[in-house]
Chain A
Amino acid sequence: MTGSVANENRIAVVGSGPSGFYTTEALLRSGVPLTVDMFERLPVPYGLVRFGVAPDHPKLKQVTTAFDRIATMPGFRFIGGVTIGDDVSIDELRKAYDAVVLATGAELSRALDIPGEALPGSHTAGDFVAWYNGHPQFADLRIDLHHETAIVIGHGNVALDVARILAKTADELRRTDIARHALEALAESRIREIHVVGRSGPAQTRFTAKELRDFLELNTCDTCVDMRNVSSDEFEPPSPDDPELTEKLSLLRAFSQAAVTKPRRCVLRFRLSPVALRGRDRLEAIAFKQESGAVEDIACGLSLSSVGRKTTPVAGVPYDAHRGVHANIDGRVAADGSVIEGLYVCGWSKRGPNGTIGTNRGCGIATAEAVLADITHRRPRSDTPDALLARLTGRGARIVSYPDWATIDAAEKRRGAALGKPREKFVTIPDMLAAVRA
Protein backbone atom coordinates (compact mmCIF):
# COMPACT_ATOMS: atom_id res chain seq x y z
CA MET A 1 0.00 0.00 0.00
CA THR A 2 1.23 3.48 -0.78
CA GLY A 3 1.20 6.52 1.44
CA SER A 4 -1.15 9.01 -0.11
CA VAL A 5 0.25 12.18 -1.53
CA ALA A 6 -2.40 14.90 -1.55
CA ASN A 7 -1.92 15.73 -5.18
CA GLU A 8 -1.62 12.17 -6.42
CA ASN A 9 -3.91 10.92 -9.16
CA ARG A 10 -5.85 7.81 -8.24
CA ILE A 11 -6.59 5.49 -11.15
CA ALA A 12 -8.75 2.36 -11.20
CA VAL A 13 -8.06 -0.38 -13.76
CA VAL A 14 -10.88 -2.92 -14.10
CA GLY A 15 -9.61 -6.37 -15.13
CA SER A 16 -6.30 -8.13 -14.51
CA GLY A 17 -5.63 -9.64 -17.93
CA PRO A 18 -2.70 -8.58 -20.13
CA SER A 19 -4.27 -5.25 -21.12
CA GLY A 20 -4.94 -4.27 -17.50
CA PHE A 21 -1.35 -5.02 -16.52
CA TYR A 22 0.25 -3.27 -19.51
CA THR A 23 -1.87 -0.14 -19.05
CA THR A 24 -0.91 -0.14 -15.38
CA GLU A 25 2.77 -0.45 -16.27
CA ALA A 26 2.62 2.45 -18.74
CA LEU A 27 0.83 4.62 -16.15
CA LEU A 28 3.26 3.81 -13.35
CA ARG A 29 6.30 4.31 -15.59
CA SER A 30 5.12 7.73 -16.75
CA GLY A 31 6.71 9.65 -13.89
CA VAL A 32 3.38 11.40 -13.21
CA PRO A 33 2.51 11.02 -9.51
CA LEU A 34 -0.28 8.43 -9.47
CA THR A 35 -1.40 5.13 -8.00
CA VAL A 36 -3.29 2.27 -9.64
CA ASP A 37 -5.91 0.07 -8.00
CA MET A 38 -6.56 -2.98 -10.18
CA PHE A 39 -10.03 -4.45 -9.63
CA GLU A 40 -10.66 -8.07 -10.66
CA ARG A 41 -13.85 -10.09 -10.43
CA LEU A 42 -12.01 -13.28 -9.46
CA PRO A 43 -9.65 -13.83 -6.54
CA VAL A 44 -6.90 -14.67 -9.08
CA PRO A 45 -5.23 -12.47 -11.74
CA TYR A 46 -4.06 -12.83 -15.37
CA GLY A 47 -7.41 -13.12 -17.22
CA LEU A 48 -7.15 -15.29 -20.32
CA VAL A 49 -3.50 -16.07 -19.68
CA ARG A 50 -4.78 -18.29 -16.88
CA PHE A 51 -8.22 -19.18 -18.30
CA GLY A 52 -7.69 -19.06 -22.09
CA VAL A 53 -4.13 -19.94 -23.13
CA ALA A 54 -3.92 -23.70 -23.64
CA PRO A 55 -2.45 -25.76 -20.79
CA ASP A 56 0.00 -27.43 -23.21
CA HIS A 57 1.57 -24.03 -24.05
CA PRO A 58 3.51 -23.50 -20.81
CA LYS A 59 6.24 -21.32 -22.30
CA LEU A 60 3.73 -18.63 -23.18
CA LYS A 61 2.42 -18.61 -19.63
CA GLN A 62 5.82 -17.35 -18.48
CA VAL A 63 4.44 -13.94 -19.44
CA THR A 64 2.96 -13.93 -15.92
CA THR A 65 6.45 -13.13 -14.57
CA ALA A 66 6.15 -9.80 -16.41
CA PHE A 67 2.75 -9.21 -14.74
CA ASP A 68 4.18 -10.10 -11.32
CA ARG A 69 6.99 -7.61 -11.90
CA ILE A 70 4.46 -4.89 -12.74
CA ALA A 71 2.59 -5.77 -9.53
CA THR A 72 5.71 -4.90 -7.49
CA MET A 73 5.86 -1.34 -8.88
CA PRO A 74 5.30 1.31 -6.18
CA GLY A 75 1.74 2.61 -6.27
CA PHE A 76 0.12 -0.68 -7.37
CA ARG A 77 -2.67 -2.43 -5.50
CA PHE A 78 -4.65 -5.56 -6.53
CA ILE A 79 -8.28 -5.66 -5.42
CA GLY A 80 -9.46 -9.14 -6.29
CA GLY A 81 -12.94 -10.53 -5.75
CA VAL A 82 -14.81 -7.35 -6.76
CA THR A 83 -17.03 -7.15 -9.84
CA ILE A 84 -17.50 -3.68 -11.28
CA GLY A 85 -21.10 -3.11 -12.36
CA ASP A 86 -22.26 -5.57 -9.71
CA ASP A 87 -20.49 -5.11 -6.35
CA VAL A 88 -19.67 -1.49 -7.23
CA SER A 89 -21.43 0.56 -9.86
CA ILE A 90 -19.44 2.36 -12.49
CA ASP A 91 -20.68 5.71 -11.11
CA GLU A 92 -19.58 4.87 -7.60
CA LEU A 93 -16.16 3.92 -8.96
CA ARG A 94 -15.83 7.10 -11.02
CA LYS A 95 -16.64 9.24 -7.96
CA ALA A 96 -13.71 7.72 -6.08
CA TYR A 97 -11.08 7.78 -8.84
CA ASP A 98 -9.66 10.42 -11.17
CA ALA A 99 -9.78 7.97 -14.05
CA VAL A 100 -11.25 4.50 -14.61
CA VAL A 101 -9.81 2.18 -17.27
CA LEU A 102 -11.93 -0.80 -18.31
CA ALA A 103 -9.84 -3.85 -19.24
CA THR A 104 -12.63 -6.38 -19.03
CA GLY A 105 -11.77 -8.50 -22.08
CA ALA A 106 -14.29 -10.30 -24.28
CA GLU A 107 -15.87 -12.96 -22.12
CA LEU A 108 -18.98 -13.79 -24.15
CA SER A 109 -18.70 -16.32 -26.96
CA ARG A 110 -20.42 -15.29 -30.17
CA ALA A 111 -23.33 -17.49 -31.16
CA LEU A 112 -23.81 -18.96 -34.63
CA ASP A 113 -27.44 -17.80 -34.57
CA ILE A 114 -28.69 -20.92 -36.33
CA PRO A 115 -31.34 -23.44 -35.22
CA GLY A 116 -30.37 -26.15 -32.74
CA GLU A 117 -27.59 -24.33 -30.90
CA ALA A 118 -29.24 -25.06 -27.55
CA LEU A 119 -29.24 -28.86 -28.07
CA PRO A 120 -27.34 -30.86 -25.45
CA GLY A 121 -23.93 -31.65 -26.92
CA SER A 122 -23.59 -28.20 -28.47
CA HIS A 123 -21.12 -25.88 -26.73
CA THR A 124 -18.97 -22.90 -27.55
CA ALA A 125 -15.22 -23.35 -27.69
CA GLY A 126 -15.05 -20.51 -25.14
CA ASP A 127 -16.98 -22.55 -22.56
CA PHE A 128 -14.92 -25.67 -23.28
CA VAL A 129 -11.66 -23.70 -22.85
CA ALA A 130 -12.87 -22.13 -19.59
CA TRP A 131 -13.84 -25.63 -18.39
CA TYR A 132 -10.50 -27.30 -19.11
CA ASN A 133 -8.65 -24.32 -17.66
CA GLY A 134 -10.63 -24.49 -14.40
CA HIS A 135 -12.53 -21.18 -14.55
CA PRO A 136 -14.79 -21.19 -11.45
CA GLN A 137 -17.87 -20.26 -13.46
CA PHE A 138 -17.40 -23.24 -15.80
CA ALA A 139 -15.88 -25.92 -13.59
CA ASP A 140 -19.11 -27.89 -13.33
CA LEU A 141 -20.00 -27.72 -17.01
CA ARG A 142 -20.93 -31.17 -18.34
CA ILE A 143 -18.96 -31.99 -21.47
CA ASP A 144 -20.07 -35.37 -22.78
CA LEU A 145 -17.12 -37.00 -24.53
CA HIS A 146 -18.79 -40.39 -24.99
CA HIS A 147 -19.22 -39.93 -28.72
CA GLU A 148 -17.04 -40.90 -31.68
CA THR A 149 -17.14 -37.60 -33.55
CA ALA A 150 -16.66 -33.96 -32.57
CA ILE A 151 -17.03 -30.95 -34.83
CA VAL A 152 -15.16 -27.71 -34.23
CA ILE A 153 -16.62 -24.76 -36.19
CA GLY A 154 -14.18 -22.00 -37.17
CA HIS A 155 -10.64 -21.76 -38.50
CA GLY A 156 -8.96 -19.53 -35.91
CA ASN A 157 -6.30 -20.34 -33.31
CA VAL A 158 -8.92 -21.05 -30.66
CA ALA A 159 -10.45 -23.71 -32.94
CA LEU A 160 -7.02 -25.35 -33.21
CA ASP A 161 -6.53 -25.14 -29.43
CA VAL A 162 -9.76 -27.01 -28.68
CA ALA A 163 -9.23 -29.55 -31.48
CA ARG A 164 -5.73 -30.28 -30.22
CA ILE A 165 -6.90 -30.77 -26.63
CA LEU A 166 -9.53 -33.24 -27.90
CA ALA A 167 -6.86 -34.97 -30.02
CA LYS A 168 -4.39 -35.47 -27.18
CA THR A 169 -4.34 -38.42 -24.84
CA ALA A 170 -4.45 -37.98 -21.09
CA ASP A 171 -0.74 -38.88 -21.04
CA GLU A 172 0.03 -35.97 -23.35
CA LEU A 173 -1.80 -33.59 -20.98
CA ARG A 174 -1.00 -35.08 -17.59
CA ARG A 175 1.98 -32.82 -16.88
CA THR A 176 0.26 -29.58 -17.83
CA ASP A 177 -1.81 -27.28 -15.58
CA ILE A 178 -5.08 -28.58 -17.07
CA ALA A 179 -7.84 -28.78 -14.43
CA ARG A 180 -8.19 -32.19 -12.82
CA HIS A 181 -11.87 -32.60 -13.73
CA ALA A 182 -11.00 -32.03 -17.40
CA LEU A 183 -8.07 -34.44 -17.38
CA GLU A 184 -10.31 -37.11 -15.86
CA ALA A 185 -13.05 -36.55 -18.44
CA LEU A 186 -10.58 -36.47 -21.34
CA ALA A 187 -8.98 -39.70 -20.12
CA GLU A 188 -12.37 -41.38 -20.68
CA SER A 189 -13.00 -39.66 -24.02
CA ARG A 190 -14.28 -41.84 -26.87
CA ILE A 191 -13.75 -39.13 -29.48
CA ARG A 192 -11.99 -40.65 -32.50
CA GLU A 193 -12.67 -38.13 -35.20
CA ILE A 194 -12.46 -34.34 -34.92
CA HIS A 195 -13.66 -32.25 -37.87
CA VAL A 196 -12.37 -28.69 -37.90
CA VAL A 197 -14.69 -26.92 -40.29
CA GLY A 198 -14.22 -23.46 -41.83
CA ARG A 199 -16.40 -21.51 -44.20
CA SER A 200 -13.62 -20.34 -46.55
CA GLY A 201 -10.47 -21.69 -48.19
CA PRO A 202 -6.96 -22.63 -46.99
CA ALA A 203 -5.44 -19.19 -47.63
CA GLN A 204 -8.22 -17.46 -45.67
CA THR A 205 -7.75 -19.47 -42.48
CA ARG A 206 -7.11 -17.25 -39.45
CA PHE A 207 -4.98 -19.73 -37.52
CA THR A 208 -1.20 -19.38 -37.57
CA ALA A 209 1.41 -21.78 -38.91
CA LYS A 210 2.90 -22.13 -35.45
CA GLU A 211 -0.38 -23.50 -34.07
CA LEU A 212 -0.81 -25.82 -37.04
CA ARG A 213 2.69 -27.22 -36.53
CA ASP A 214 1.59 -28.61 -33.16
CA PHE A 215 -0.51 -31.12 -35.11
CA LEU A 216 2.67 -32.73 -36.47
CA GLU A 217 3.47 -33.95 -32.99
CA LEU A 218 0.35 -35.71 -31.77
CA ASN A 219 0.98 -39.20 -30.40
CA THR A 220 -2.23 -40.93 -31.41
CA CYS A 221 -3.89 -38.59 -33.88
CA ASP A 222 -3.27 -38.06 -37.61
CA THR A 223 -4.20 -34.78 -39.20
CA CYS A 224 -5.60 -34.73 -42.72
CA VAL A 225 -7.36 -32.42 -45.13
CA ASP A 226 -10.66 -33.40 -46.72
CA MET A 227 -10.08 -32.36 -50.34
CA ARG A 228 -13.75 -31.95 -51.23
CA ASN A 229 -14.25 -28.23 -51.97
CA VAL A 230 -10.47 -27.62 -52.16
CA SER A 231 -8.04 -27.95 -55.03
CA SER A 232 -4.39 -28.81 -54.47
CA ASP A 233 -3.31 -25.64 -56.35
CA GLU A 234 -4.56 -23.69 -53.40
CA PHE A 235 -1.57 -24.87 -51.37
CA GLU A 236 0.69 -22.95 -53.77
CA PRO A 237 1.74 -19.74 -51.95
CA PRO A 238 0.44 -16.66 -53.79
CA SER A 239 3.64 -14.68 -53.01
CA PRO A 240 7.13 -15.72 -51.87
CA ASP A 241 7.21 -12.62 -49.63
CA ASP A 242 4.83 -14.06 -47.08
CA PRO A 243 6.73 -16.76 -45.19
CA GLU A 244 3.89 -17.20 -42.69
CA LEU A 245 1.27 -18.02 -45.32
CA THR A 246 3.79 -20.10 -47.28
CA GLU A 247 4.49 -22.23 -44.23
CA LYS A 248 0.81 -22.60 -43.37
CA LEU A 249 -0.09 -23.74 -46.88
CA SER A 250 2.81 -26.15 -47.07
CA LEU A 251 1.73 -27.70 -43.76
CA LEU A 252 -1.81 -28.05 -45.11
CA ARG A 253 -0.43 -29.67 -48.24
CA ALA A 254 1.59 -32.11 -46.15
CA PHE A 255 -1.51 -32.98 -44.11
CA SER A 256 -3.48 -33.51 -47.32
CA GLN A 257 -0.93 -36.10 -48.47
CA ALA A 258 -0.14 -37.81 -45.17
CA ALA A 259 -0.96 -41.46 -44.55
CA VAL A 260 -3.57 -42.10 -41.88
CA THR A 261 -2.45 -44.80 -39.45
CA LYS A 262 -3.15 -43.62 -35.91
CA PRO A 263 -6.35 -44.37 -33.95
CA ARG A 264 -7.58 -40.76 -33.93
CA ARG A 265 -8.07 -38.39 -36.84
CA CYS A 266 -8.33 -34.64 -37.06
CA VAL A 267 -9.90 -33.66 -40.40
CA LEU A 268 -9.67 -30.10 -41.71
CA ARG A 269 -12.63 -29.17 -43.89
CA PHE A 270 -13.14 -26.08 -46.02
CA ARG A 271 -15.91 -23.96 -47.55
CA LEU A 272 -18.71 -25.28 -45.37
CA SER A 273 -21.06 -22.82 -43.62
CA PRO A 274 -23.08 -24.17 -40.70
CA VAL A 275 -26.86 -23.80 -41.20
CA ALA A 276 -28.38 -25.92 -38.42
CA LEU A 277 -27.56 -28.25 -35.56
CA ARG A 278 -29.83 -31.25 -35.77
CA GLY A 279 -31.01 -33.87 -33.30
CA ARG A 280 -34.10 -35.00 -31.44
CA ASP A 281 -33.14 -34.84 -27.74
CA ARG A 282 -29.49 -34.08 -28.23
CA LEU A 283 -27.07 -33.18 -30.98
CA GLU A 284 -26.88 -35.79 -33.75
CA ALA A 285 -25.47 -33.89 -36.75
CA ILE A 286 -24.58 -30.46 -38.08
CA ALA A 287 -25.88 -29.35 -41.47
CA PHE A 288 -23.44 -27.34 -43.56
CA LYS A 289 -24.06 -25.50 -46.79
CA GLN A 290 -21.49 -25.82 -49.56
CA GLU A 291 -20.71 -22.96 -51.93
CA SER A 292 -22.87 -24.72 -54.54
CA GLY A 293 -25.82 -24.42 -52.17
CA ALA A 294 -25.95 -28.17 -51.50
CA VAL A 295 -26.38 -29.11 -47.85
CA GLU A 296 -24.22 -31.77 -46.22
CA ASP A 297 -24.92 -33.31 -42.81
CA ILE A 298 -21.95 -34.39 -40.72
CA ALA A 299 -22.93 -36.71 -37.88
CA CYS A 300 -21.45 -35.85 -34.48
CA GLY A 301 -22.13 -36.01 -30.77
CA LEU A 302 -20.19 -32.91 -29.72
CA SER A 303 -20.00 -29.48 -31.30
CA LEU A 304 -17.63 -26.70 -30.27
CA SER A 305 -18.29 -23.47 -32.11
CA SER A 306 -15.28 -21.18 -32.22
CA VAL A 307 -16.41 -18.09 -34.10
CA GLY A 308 -15.22 -15.24 -31.91
CA ARG A 309 -16.15 -13.41 -28.72
CA LYS A 310 -17.55 -10.12 -27.45
CA THR A 311 -17.26 -7.97 -24.36
CA THR A 312 -19.78 -8.33 -21.53
CA PRO A 313 -21.61 -4.99 -21.23
CA VAL A 314 -21.08 -3.21 -17.89
CA ALA A 315 -24.14 -1.37 -16.50
CA GLY A 316 -23.71 2.35 -17.07
CA VAL A 317 -21.07 2.01 -19.81
CA PRO A 318 -22.16 2.63 -23.42
CA TYR A 319 -21.87 -0.47 -25.57
CA ASP A 320 -21.03 -0.82 -29.25
CA ALA A 321 -23.21 -3.79 -30.14
CA HIS A 322 -21.88 -4.00 -33.67
CA ARG A 323 -18.23 -4.44 -32.65
CA GLY A 324 -19.05 -6.11 -29.32
CA VAL A 325 -16.89 -3.74 -27.22
CA HIS A 326 -17.37 -0.83 -24.79
CA ALA A 327 -18.18 2.06 -27.15
CA ASN A 328 -14.97 4.10 -27.49
CA ILE A 329 -12.99 6.49 -29.62
CA ASP A 330 -9.35 5.38 -29.53
CA GLY A 331 -9.60 4.19 -25.94
CA ARG A 332 -11.83 6.98 -24.57
CA VAL A 333 -15.31 5.66 -23.75
CA ALA A 334 -17.86 7.59 -25.76
CA ALA A 335 -21.65 7.67 -26.05
CA ASP A 336 -23.02 8.70 -29.45
CA GLY A 337 -19.65 10.13 -30.41
CA SER A 338 -19.09 12.27 -27.34
CA VAL A 339 -16.41 11.29 -24.85
CA ILE A 340 -17.31 10.46 -21.25
CA GLU A 341 -14.82 12.23 -19.03
CA GLY A 342 -12.44 10.05 -17.02
CA LEU A 343 -13.57 6.70 -18.48
CA TYR A 344 -11.23 4.66 -20.69
CA VAL A 345 -10.89 1.20 -22.17
CA CYS A 346 -8.03 -1.06 -23.33
CA GLY A 347 -7.33 -4.54 -24.69
CA TRP A 348 -10.05 -6.83 -26.02
CA SER A 349 -12.81 -4.68 -24.51
CA LYS A 350 -11.48 -1.77 -26.64
CA ARG A 351 -10.37 -3.46 -29.91
CA GLY A 352 -12.26 -6.72 -29.94
CA PRO A 353 -10.75 -10.21 -29.74
CA ASN A 354 -7.70 -10.10 -31.99
CA GLY A 355 -3.92 -10.12 -31.83
CA THR A 356 -1.45 -11.81 -29.51
CA ILE A 357 -0.87 -11.14 -25.83
CA GLY A 358 1.69 -8.45 -26.65
CA THR A 359 -0.76 -6.54 -28.87
CA ASN A 360 -2.35 -5.54 -25.58
CA ARG A 361 0.93 -3.91 -24.54
CA GLY A 362 0.94 -1.42 -27.41
CA CYS A 363 -2.81 -0.99 -26.89
CA GLY A 364 -2.38 -0.37 -23.14
CA ILE A 365 0.41 2.15 -23.75
CA ALA A 366 -1.91 4.08 -26.09
CA THR A 367 -4.73 4.10 -23.53
CA ALA A 368 -2.33 5.22 -20.78
CA GLU A 369 -1.25 8.11 -23.02
CA ALA A 370 -4.89 9.20 -23.35
CA VAL A 371 -5.37 9.02 -19.56
CA LEU A 372 -2.24 11.07 -18.94
CA ALA A 373 -3.10 13.65 -21.58
CA ASP A 374 -6.47 14.30 -19.93
CA ILE A 375 -5.50 14.09 -16.30
CA THR A 376 -4.15 17.63 -16.00
CA HIS A 377 -7.67 19.02 -16.18
CA ARG A 378 -9.36 16.32 -14.13
CA ARG A 379 -12.60 16.98 -12.30
CA PRO A 380 -12.56 16.92 -8.46
CA ARG A 381 -13.45 13.62 -6.78
CA SER A 382 -16.34 13.48 -4.34
CA ASP A 383 -15.19 10.23 -2.71
CA THR A 384 -11.92 8.43 -1.94
CA PRO A 385 -10.73 4.92 -2.84
CA ASP A 386 -10.22 4.03 0.81
CA ALA A 387 -13.77 5.05 1.75
CA LEU A 388 -15.04 2.98 -1.18
CA LEU A 389 -13.05 -0.07 -0.11
CA ALA A 390 -14.26 0.31 3.48
CA ARG A 391 -17.88 0.39 2.26
CA LEU A 392 -17.23 -2.69 0.11
CA THR A 393 -15.83 -4.64 3.05
CA GLY A 394 -18.82 -3.46 5.08
CA ARG A 395 -21.11 -4.94 2.43
CA GLY A 396 -19.38 -8.29 2.93
CA ALA A 397 -16.90 -8.30 0.04
CA ARG A 398 -13.89 -10.56 0.59
CA ILE A 399 -11.10 -8.54 -1.02
CA VAL A 400 -8.05 -10.48 -2.21
CA SER A 401 -4.69 -8.66 -2.30
CA TYR A 402 -1.64 -9.53 -4.42
CA PRO A 403 0.11 -11.14 -1.41
CA ASP A 404 -3.09 -13.20 -0.92
CA TRP A 405 -2.83 -14.28 -4.57
CA ALA A 406 0.81 -15.23 -3.95
CA THR A 407 -0.45 -17.54 -1.19
CA ILE A 408 -3.02 -19.12 -3.52
CA ASP A 409 -0.34 -19.44 -6.22
CA ALA A 410 2.07 -21.20 -3.87
CA ALA A 411 -0.67 -23.59 -2.71
CA GLU A 412 -1.60 -24.46 -6.30
CA LYS A 413 2.05 -25.12 -7.14
CA ARG A 414 2.41 -27.39 -4.10
CA ARG A 415 -0.68 -29.37 -5.11
CA GLY A 416 0.71 -29.61 -8.63
CA ALA A 417 4.18 -30.74 -7.57
CA ALA A 418 2.68 -33.82 -5.93
CA LEU A 419 1.16 -34.76 -9.32
CA GLY A 420 4.08 -33.76 -11.56
CA LYS A 421 2.09 -30.74 -12.82
CA PRO A 422 3.23 -27.10 -12.78
CA ARG A 423 0.14 -26.38 -10.65
CA GLU A 424 -3.21 -27.90 -9.73
CA LYS A 425 -5.64 -25.00 -9.92
CA PHE A 426 -8.35 -24.36 -7.36
CA VAL A 427 -11.51 -24.36 -9.44
CA THR A 428 -14.00 -22.82 -7.01
CA ILE A 429 -13.90 -19.40 -5.36
CA PRO A 430 -14.42 -20.86 -1.85
CA ASP A 431 -11.38 -23.13 -2.38
CA MET A 432 -9.30 -20.16 -3.55
CA LEU A 433 -10.33 -18.15 -0.48
CA ALA A 434 -9.74 -21.11 1.83
CA ALA A 435 -6.16 -21.29 0.52
CA VAL A 436 -5.64 -17.65 1.59
CA ARG A 437 -6.82 -18.40 5.12
CA ALA A 438 -4.87 -21.67 5.43
Chain B
Amino acid sequence: MTYVVTDNCRGCRYTECVTVCPVECFHVDDAMTYIDPENCIDCGGCAPACPVGAIEPDYRLAADKKYWIDVNRKRATETPVISARLPALPGADERRRALGR
Protein backbone atom coordinates (compact mmCIF):
# COMPACT_ATOMS: atom_id res chain seq x y z
CA MET B 1 0.00 0.00 0.00
CA THR B 2 1.02 3.62 -0.47
CA TYR B 3 -0.52 7.08 -0.73
CA VAL B 4 -0.72 8.71 -4.18
CA VAL B 5 -0.91 12.30 -5.46
CA THR B 6 -3.42 12.78 -8.28
CA ASP B 7 -4.31 15.43 -10.85
CA ASN B 8 -6.07 17.80 -8.42
CA CYS B 9 -2.57 18.86 -7.37
CA ARG B 10 -1.70 20.02 -10.90
CA GLY B 11 -1.12 23.74 -11.17
CA CYS B 12 -1.93 24.24 -7.50
CA ARG B 13 0.87 22.88 -5.41
CA TYR B 14 0.04 24.36 -1.99
CA THR B 15 2.66 22.21 -0.27
CA GLU B 16 0.71 21.62 2.94
CA CYS B 17 1.32 17.91 2.41
CA VAL B 18 5.08 18.27 2.55
CA THR B 19 5.56 19.49 6.11
CA VAL B 20 3.34 16.78 7.61
CA CYS B 21 5.14 13.88 5.97
CA PRO B 22 7.21 12.24 8.71
CA VAL B 23 9.62 10.60 6.26
CA GLU B 24 10.01 13.16 3.45
CA CYS B 25 8.31 11.16 0.71
CA PHE B 26 7.36 14.10 -1.47
CA HIS B 27 9.04 14.91 -4.75
CA VAL B 28 8.26 17.88 -6.93
CA ASP B 29 8.42 19.13 -10.50
CA ASP B 30 7.06 22.28 -12.10
CA ALA B 31 3.53 20.95 -12.23
CA MET B 32 2.86 19.02 -9.02
CA THR B 33 4.15 16.74 -6.24
CA TYR B 34 4.60 12.96 -6.19
CA ILE B 35 4.90 10.44 -3.36
CA ASP B 36 7.75 7.95 -3.37
CA PRO B 37 5.99 4.62 -2.67
CA GLU B 38 9.26 3.07 -1.50
CA ASN B 39 9.45 5.54 1.38
CA CYS B 40 5.81 6.07 2.31
CA ILE B 41 4.94 4.42 5.65
CA ASP B 42 1.16 4.82 5.19
CA CYS B 43 0.72 7.15 8.13
CA GLY B 44 -2.13 8.84 6.28
CA GLY B 45 -1.17 12.31 7.50
CA CYS B 46 -0.87 13.98 4.10
CA ALA B 47 -4.33 13.15 2.73
CA PRO B 48 -6.38 15.29 5.14
CA ALA B 49 -3.71 18.05 5.01
CA CYS B 50 -4.18 18.62 1.26
CA PRO B 51 -6.66 21.45 0.75
CA VAL B 52 -7.78 20.18 -2.66
CA GLY B 53 -8.21 16.47 -1.86
CA ALA B 54 -5.44 15.45 -4.28
CA ILE B 55 -4.06 12.62 -2.12
CA GLU B 56 -5.65 9.19 -1.66
CA PRO B 57 -4.47 5.77 -0.51
CA ASP B 58 -3.87 3.61 -3.58
CA TYR B 59 -6.70 1.17 -2.87
CA ARG B 60 -9.26 3.99 -2.72
CA LEU B 61 -8.47 5.51 -6.12
CA ALA B 62 -11.29 5.44 -8.67
CA ALA B 63 -10.62 3.17 -11.67
CA ASP B 64 -9.85 6.14 -13.93
CA LYS B 65 -7.26 7.43 -11.43
CA LYS B 66 -5.39 4.20 -10.77
CA TYR B 67 -2.72 5.13 -13.34
CA TRP B 68 -1.49 7.76 -10.87
CA ILE B 69 0.08 4.94 -8.86
CA ASP B 70 2.55 4.33 -11.69
CA VAL B 71 2.98 8.04 -12.40
CA ASN B 72 3.95 8.70 -8.76
CA ARG B 73 6.33 5.75 -8.69
CA LYS B 74 8.05 6.84 -11.92
CA ARG B 75 8.19 10.59 -11.28
CA ALA B 76 9.49 10.10 -7.74
CA THR B 77 12.63 8.55 -9.20
CA GLU B 78 13.08 11.44 -11.65
CA THR B 79 12.43 14.47 -9.46
CA PRO B 80 14.04 15.96 -6.33
CA VAL B 81 12.76 15.51 -2.78
CA ILE B 82 11.02 18.52 -1.32
CA SER B 83 11.26 18.85 2.45
CA ALA B 84 9.94 22.36 3.14
CA ARG B 85 6.93 24.31 1.96
CA LEU B 86 7.04 26.18 -1.35
CA PRO B 87 5.03 29.26 -2.20
CA ALA B 88 1.83 28.21 -4.01
CA LEU B 89 1.91 28.58 -7.79
CA PRO B 90 0.32 31.70 -9.25
CA GLY B 91 -3.33 30.99 -9.85
CA ALA B 92 -3.52 28.42 -7.07
CA ASP B 93 -6.29 30.19 -5.22
CA GLU B 94 -8.44 30.40 -8.35
CA ARG B 95 -7.88 26.72 -8.97
CA ARG B 96 -8.82 25.91 -5.41
CA ARG B 97 -12.07 27.79 -5.90
CA ALA B 98 -12.68 26.13 -9.28
CA LEU B 99 -12.39 22.75 -7.53
CA GLY B 100 -15.00 23.93 -5.08
CA ARG B 101 -12.71 23.77 -2.02
Contact = CB atoms under 8 A, between A and B. Distances in A.
Contacts of B45: 355-359
A359 B57 contact: no
Given A358-B22, A362-B19, A62 B41 contact: yes
A356 B44 contact: yes
A359 B20 contact: yes
A361 B43 CA distance: 13
Nearest to A49: B22
Contacts of A243: 53, 56, 60
A217 interface: no
Chain B, interface residues (CB within 8 Å), range = 20 to 34
B17 to A, nearest CB: 9
Question: Max chain B CB contacts within 10 Å: which of A208, A247, A358?
Answer: A358
Contacts of B60: 243, 247
A59 interface: yes
B57 A358 contact: no
Contacts of B84: 365
A59 B2 CA distance: 11
A383 interface: no
B24 A59 contact: no
A190 interface: no
B41 A361 contact: no
Nearest to A22: B22
B4 to A, nearest CB: 12
B44 A361 contact: no
Given A243-B56, A244-B48, A247-B60, A59 B20 contact: no
Contacts of A66: 22-24
Given A66-B24, A243-B56, A243-B60, A60 B19 contact: no
B78 interface: no
A63 B43 contact: yes
Nearest to B84: A365
A47 interface: no
Interface in B36-83: 41-48, 53, 56-57, 60
B44 A208 contact: yes
A210 B44 contact: yes
A358 B43 contact: yes
Interface string A342-367: 00000000000001111111100100
| Smallest CB-CB A-B distances: 6 pairs | A356-B45, A358-B45, A358-B22, A362-B19, A358-B20, A357-B22
Interface of B: 19-24, 41-48, 53, 56-57, 60, 84, 100
29 contacts: A18-B22, A22-B22, A59-B42, A60-B41, A60-B42, A60-B43, A63-B41, A63-B43, A66-B22, A66-B23, A66-B24, A210-B42, A241-B100, A243-B53, A355-B45, A356-B44, A356-B45, A358-B20, A358-B21, A358-B22, A358-B45, A358-B46, A359-B45, A360-B22, A361-B19, A361-B22, A362-B19, A362-B20, A365-B84
Given A210-B42, A247-B60, 12 more contacts: A62-B23, A62-B41, A65-B23, A244-B48, A355-B45, A356-B20, A356-B43, A357-B45, A358-B21, A358-B43, A359-B45, A361-B20
